[in-house]
């Protein structure tokens, strides 16, 4: 009887092996899944020009780097707002 033990996931990641290759362009459904938002939100971002995309066969393909940069900026803004709220609560600025 033979047992095969696969290396732990962390070891695979440290070697630089990508289990799921990242695509440079994503469909709207893939983009929404990547940042865990509704597809309608991605459509709104594309319409507003907040994320770079291109048309192909009447479909919009989202630039993955542009989407991830937008997400990182959004997370940074949310962190700053959370910090402002925390400081206001500590100082009691809006207490009755």
pLDDT digits (tens, 9 = 90+) for 1-51: 565 655 554 444 455 555 555 778 999 999 999 999 999 999 999 999 999
pLDDT digits (tens, 9 = 90+) for 37-73: 999 999 999 999 999 999 999 999 999 999 999 999 9
What ranges make up the beta strands (E) of 1-96? 25-26, 53-56, 59-63
Buried b (16+ CB within 10 A) or exposed e, 17-30: eeeeeeeebbebeb
pLDDT of residue 69: 94
Q: Which CATH number fits domain 21-91: 1.10.1660, 3.40.50, 1.10.3470, 1.10.10?
A: 1.10.1660
Single pTM value for the model: 0.64
Q: Which two tokens stand for residue 21?
A: 């290759």
Nearest-CA neighbor of 60 among 30, 28, 13, 33?
28
């Amino acid at each position: 009887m033979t047992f095969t033990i696969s290396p732990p996931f962390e070891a695979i990641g440290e070697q630089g092996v990508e289990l799921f290759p990242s695509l440079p362009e994503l469909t709207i459904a893939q983009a929404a899944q990547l940042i865990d938002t509704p597809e309608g939100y991605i459509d709104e971002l594309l319409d507003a020009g907040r994320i770079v995309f291109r048309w192909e066969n009447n479909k919009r393909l989202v630039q993955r780097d542009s989407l991830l940069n937008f997400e990182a900026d959004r997370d940074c803004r949310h962190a700053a707002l959370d910090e402002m709220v925390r400081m206001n609560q500590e100082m009691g600025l809006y207490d009755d």
